[in-house]
Amino acid sequence: MASPLLLGIDTGGTYTDAVVFREQTGVVAKAKSLTTRHNLAEGIAGAVDTVLATAGVSASDIALVSLSTTLATNALVEGQGGRAALVMIGFGPEDLARDGLREALGQDPVIFLAGGHDVHGRETPLDLAPLEQGLAELAGTVSSFAVAGYFAVRNPDHEIRVRDHIRALSHLPVTCSHELSSKLGGPRRALTTLLNARLVSIIDRLIGSCETFLAERRIDAPLMVVRGDGALISASEARLRPIETILSGPAASLVGARYLTGLDAAVVSDIGGTTTDVAVLENGRPRLAEEGAVVGGFRTMVEAVALRTYGLGGDSEVHIDDRGLVAKITLGPRRLLPLSLVGSSHPDVVVAALEKQLRASHAGRHDGRFAIRTGLPAIAEQGLQPAEQALYDRISLEPGALNELLAMNAQKAVLDRLVARGLVHICGITPSDALHVLGRQGQWNAGAAHLGLQLAARRKDGAGRPVAASAEELAERIVDRLTRQSAEAVLAACLAEDGVDGIDPANSLAVDRALRKLPGIARFSIALDRPLVGLGASAPVYYPAIAHMLGAESVIPADADVANAVGAVVGQVRAVVVVTLTSPEEGRFILAGAGESLSLVGEMRALEAARNRARTMAVERARLEGADELAVSISEDIDAPEVEGQRRLIEARITATATGRPRIGQRA
């Protein structure tokens, strides 16, 4: 009897991919559609409808739907997300200086409340007065709240009380730090909670769009989402903890790479529209970041694959520094809408504007650049300053030339803030446009790409010469630059995995000589000890040259363009619960985590209670997250030194892990 048909979906910054998959035979069919950020359901529908038709199956045949996404990762890399208020319980303003919390907070509001608990879960009285004073005003200017309490992992009572109070008065989403991590380290837990709150609206829109589409197509199957560690989680749980979906897409691509190549050891590099993600496969499994995932420069407490994410992709912004005698090209980290793409959807407007700029006797400051609304709902405009609102009102759902939209230099900073809020896209030349000019891509408007690169090529460098002799020459230089920056990114990730400090591939003369393979009496060379697996739609274009530069074997699997969607359906549910025991006095133990704190007498009794709670809650959480037929493992980390000849338990951490395949829908 044939195994059930599974549907994998990956929503990336540029494309939404879909695969129909059967465990017995692998990929049955695959398809791509442009991601439509204003209405994600359109991109999902385009990919899924095509893949079902290609596979020759009906919607009712699908027994499981699994979703991976780079939207959360991209939002953090690009500094986007909703405006969130942070409520700190038992902390002071000085704590904002720790773990990058102040930088992450930016201009978002913070409220400090007296309260919190000590290491054993004993409370300091909670004072809600500052919250009462600020809540009415904040509720109209933020989209969500983040709550972090002092030692909340030992006693979450104050976080829960503050959460319930905010929800009752504001009806806005609230994230508590104890829901995301059981680790100590208040400021970093607060940082993780803040980022989670910012992502709530983004992931809610994605899951809601997917659910709407599935209902319209009568696909009655469980919906799962890939977490950052490659495990699966139910859609309802992902809505509550969207931070766990950072690195979802890259994690899915690693799982997919292992399935598609069968390699136990490899360096995996996945190039998308916005980012390049690099990770290592060891013994058939992705390495996990023990200290938490780093995204957008911030180290979170989210367990995820040990992955380096770089703001470098097919849609990266092309920077041309024309101040020196020879113009220099760099890429990223911001994503632009390629001129070829926006010229495909709005050909009359874009092509006419580019041709007009080429005919002008003097170059404009913002030639080849446009702005267009992303199409987010009106609620996303909350909190805009007057200058931001005035400029936003002038930008429409049709691309407008920046030369006409920006009347003064100061408005460029205003525009950048609108982009950071996710309200506006900038359109300009990208590596995707360069490939269109060179004939290596052809899905969009190559004419618009050619005009854009012509405009950029005619800019003058410090010696008064054009940046490039032709659009084609500039395109080759952009492709070469992406190859070089990609090689530097892969090498930087590998050096970090090896624990090598002090070598920056982008600034090392020795690395430069090795990557360029320059001749000399002293020759420098670089080689990887395992294959380089290239993933992404443009992988066949870039990765053979990148692997050659790095002295590695290039492996590009047949379904490299949809590896994320494959990884989404071959993963497992994995729930981890950590319970701690501390001993405030001899013979008495405090059990904390995964429920209310308990005071117990006797070490053996306390340890058994901790094991039982960890096991029970891990199974309960795994089932809540959509798993069946679970396997449970228990690990213990006990700190019990001898004090004056007697054993004394200081702290015990009991970790229960429940794993299993996701629940499959019943087919008629």
Higher pLDDT, 178 or 396: 396
How is the chain split into domains, by residue range? 84-201, 316-478, 573-660
Over range 93-114, report the average pLDDT. 88
Where residue 354 falls among pLDDT bands split at 50, 70, 90? very high
The span from the CA of 69 to the CA of 49, in Å, is 19
- Residues 399, 447 contacting (CB under 8 angstroms): no
Over range 101-126, report the average pLDDT. 88
Where residue 668 falls among pLDDT bands split at 50, 70, 90? very low
User: Is residue 516 classed as helix, strand or coil in its secondary structure?
Assistant: helix
Closest CA relative to residue 312, chosen from 331, 293, 291: 331
Residues 6+ apart with CB under 8 A from 552: 267, 527, 528, 530, 531, 532
Q: Which two tokens stand for residue 621?
A: 């959480």
State residue 557's pLDDT score. 94
State residue 1's pLDDT score. 59
Q: What is the mean pLDDT of the chain?
A: 89
Q: What percent of the chain has pLDDT over 90?
A: 50
State residue 2's pLDDT score. 66
Question: Is 182's pLDDT higher than 80?
Answer: no
State residue 392's pLDDT score. 95
Where residue 476 falls among pLDDT bands split at 50, 70, 90? very high
Question: Is 298's pLDDT higher than 70?
Answer: yes
Q: What is the pTM of this model?
A: 0.74
Where residue 666 falls among pLDDT bands split at 50, 70, 90? low
CA-based end-to-end distance of the chain: 14
**Domain with residues 84-201, CATH architecture:** 3-Layer(aba) Sandwich (3.40)
Question: Is 78's pLDDT higher than 80?
Answer: no
- Residues 460, 466 contacting (CB under 8 angstroms): yes
Higher pLDDT, 605 or 138: 605
State residue 311's pLDDT score. 87
Residue carrying structure tokens 């129909």: 20
Residues 6+ apart with CB under 8 A from 582: 119, 120, 154, 589, 590, 592, 650, 651
User: What does the pLDDT look like over 607-634, one tens digit per residue?
Assistant: 999 999 999 999 999 998 888 889 999 9
The span from the CA of 175 to the CA of 561, in Å, is 35
The span from the CA of 659 to the CA of 667, in Å, is 24
Residue carrying structure tokens 């009712």: 60
> What are the φ and ψ backbone dihedral angles of 29, each rounded to 5 degrees?
-160, 160
**Full 3-state SS string of 192-256:** HHHHHHHHHHHHHHHHHHHHHHHHHCCCCCCEEEECCCCCEEEHHHHHHCHHHHCCHHHHHHHHH
Over range 499-515, report the average pLDDT. 92
Closest CA relative to residue 565, chosen from 51, 195, 125, 189: 51
Cα-based angle 318, 321, 322 (whole degrees, multiple of 5): 125
Q: What percent of the chain has pLDDT over 70?
A: 98
CA distances to 170, 332, 453, 575, 616 from 620, rounded to whole Å, are: 31, 43, 57, 9, 6
Closest CA relative to residue 401, chosen from 424, 373, 369: 369
Question: Is 654's pLDDT higher than 90?
Answer: yes
The span from the CA of 455 to the CA of 472, in Å, is 12
CB atoms inside a 10 Å sphere around CB 258: 23
Over range 552-558, report the average pLDDT. 95
Q: Which two tokens stand for residue 172?
A: 């806005």
Closest CA relative to residue 148, chosen from 192, 99, 89: 89
The span from the CA of 362 to the CA of 94, in Å, is 52
State residue 108's pLDDT score. 87
Residues 6+ apart with CB under 8 A from 218: 59, 60
Over range 308-319, report the average pLDDT. 91
Higher pLDDT, 296 or 305: 305
- Residues 223, 67 contacting (CB under 8 angstroms): yes
Higher pLDDT, 581 or 75: 581
CA distances to 363, 563, 598, 642, 649 from 603, rounded to whole Å, are: 78, 49, 13, 15, 8
Closest CA relative to residue 370, chosen from 452, 450, 436, 435: 452
Question: Is 567's pLDDT higher than 80?
Answer: yes
State residue 641's pLDDT score. 84
- Residues 554, 532 contacting (CB under 8 angstroms): yes
What is the H or E stretch that residue 541 is in? helix 539-549
Question: Is 171's pLDDT higher than 90?
Answer: no
- Residues 519, 512 contacting (CB under 8 angstroms): no
Q: Quickly list DSSP for 351-409.
A: HHHHHHHHHSSS--TTTT-EEEE----GGGGTT--HHHHHHHHH--SS-EEHHHH--ST
- Residues 426, 417 contacting (CB under 8 angstroms): no
Question: Is 302's pLDDT higher than 70?
Answer: yes
Question: Is 665's pLDDT higher than 70?
Answer: no
